[in-house]
Amino acid sequence: MRIEPMPGPFGATVSGVDTASPVASEVIESLWQALYEHHILLLTGQHFDAPAYSAFGRQWGDPIMFFNPADRDPELPELIQIRNDANTPPERRDGAMHWHQDSTYETVPAAITMLAAVEAPAGANATLFADAVAAYETLESATKRRIDGLRVVHSPGGGAPELAFHGEYRGRGKRDEGRVWREVTHPLVWRHPDTGRPALHGISGTAVGIEGMPRDDAIALLIELKSHVTHDEFVQTATANVGTILIWDNFAVLHRATATKYSDTDGERRRIYRYSTRTIRPSRTARSASVRAGT
């Protein structure tokens, strides 16, 4: 296995790992280590097969079943399908083109997420990442004191419109599955469940306010922090092309998709599988292999 830093502020490319069959536990441990060191990993040279990919995902941890059954693969419901079918209704397009961390509307959000493409248009399909650890580290001391201990309120219905930079958000419709969805809160500065490093968390995406703070003040603070973390010096780009698996640490980075052309034409079709888990590196976790609700 070879791990090489990507050009740019963070991220690493990994070669020499074959995920088509079960990966040795020592290799998975090395990948956890590399992920926590580099925030995002791009595994190259993969021969994609949905069942094998799902099995590889399970080597990291149990899946998060996506809230909307319509987005789940019919055969392997732990895999979320991301597609660009031309008949996709407007309200369901470009649902991830805003800066966010995954599943922040859940009581326990996603720890890691991975993407693999069955089909992807050439020169498209990139994901942008922003380093929430470095962004926190570079804040003024006074700002750190101001935000430590705050809790962000997240709405299952989507984030505050004022937090949408350059028209990021589009409606996604109401969440289903017969669940009762309520607002949840998470720490604004979440110390990584494994490394302990503090990072900005949930300052965009489904954020609608800060617990105990007037709404206008909360939104202004979130906008200030989001402007900081999405500054060019903290942003990296990676692409889950066919033959790669892209993995990221949601406690270290925010991410957003880039524009997709909706098309059924050969060469323009996009079919990607997402797998997310709440698990953190098991061997370093004495009490649990899963993230707990932030306290």
Contact positions vs Fe ion (CB under 5 A): 96, 102
Give the C-alpha separation, 119 to 260, whole Å: 13
Q: Are 64 and 108 in contact (CB under 8 A)?
A: no
Under DSSP, the state recorded for 293 is: P
What's the closest the beta carbon of residue 130 comes to Fe ion, in angstroms?
Answer: 12
Give whichever of 204 and 244 is closer to Fe ion, judged by the CB atom: 204
What's the closest the beta carbon of residue 240 comes to Fe ion, in angstroms?
Answer: 12
What's the closest the beta carbon of residue 113 comes to Fe ion, in angstroms?
Answer: 6
What's the closest the beta carbon of residue 248 comes to Fe ion, in angstroms?
Answer: 9
Element (H, E) at 54: helix 50-60
What's the closest the beta carbon of residue 109 comes to Fe ion, in angstroms?
Answer: 11
DSSP β-ladder status, 271-277 and 112-119:
antiparallel
Give whichever of 147 and 257 is closer to Fe ion, judged by the CB atom: 257
- The closest of 144, 145, 126, 123 to 135, measured between CA atoms, is 144
Give the C-alpha separation, 272 to 283, whole Å: 30
* Backbone φ, ψ for residue 211 (5° rounding): -55, 130
Q: Are 274 and 82 in contact (CB under 8 A)?
A: yes
Q: Which tokens go with 256? A: 């957003």
Task: Give the sign of the dihedral formed by CA 70, CA 72, CA 73, CA 75.
Answer: negative
Residue position matching structure tokens 């705050």: 150
Give whichever of 147 and 206 is closer to Fe ion, judged by the CB atom: 206
Q: Are 189 and 199 in contact (CB under 8 A)?
A: yes
What's the closest the beta carbon of residue 65 comes to Fe ion, in angstroms?
Answer: 15
Give whichever of 166 and 287 is closer to Fe ion, judged by the CB atom: 166
Helix and strand counts by DSSP (H, E) for the chain? 5, 15
Give whichever of 102 and 249 is closer to Fe ion, judged by the CB atom: 102
Q: Which tokens go with 182? A: 């309520």
Give whichever of 64 and 134 is closer to Fe ion, judged by the CB atom: 64
What's the closest the beta carbon of residue 254 comes to Fe ion, in angstroms?
Answer: 9
Give whichever of 172 and 284 is closer to Fe ion, judged by the CB atom: 172
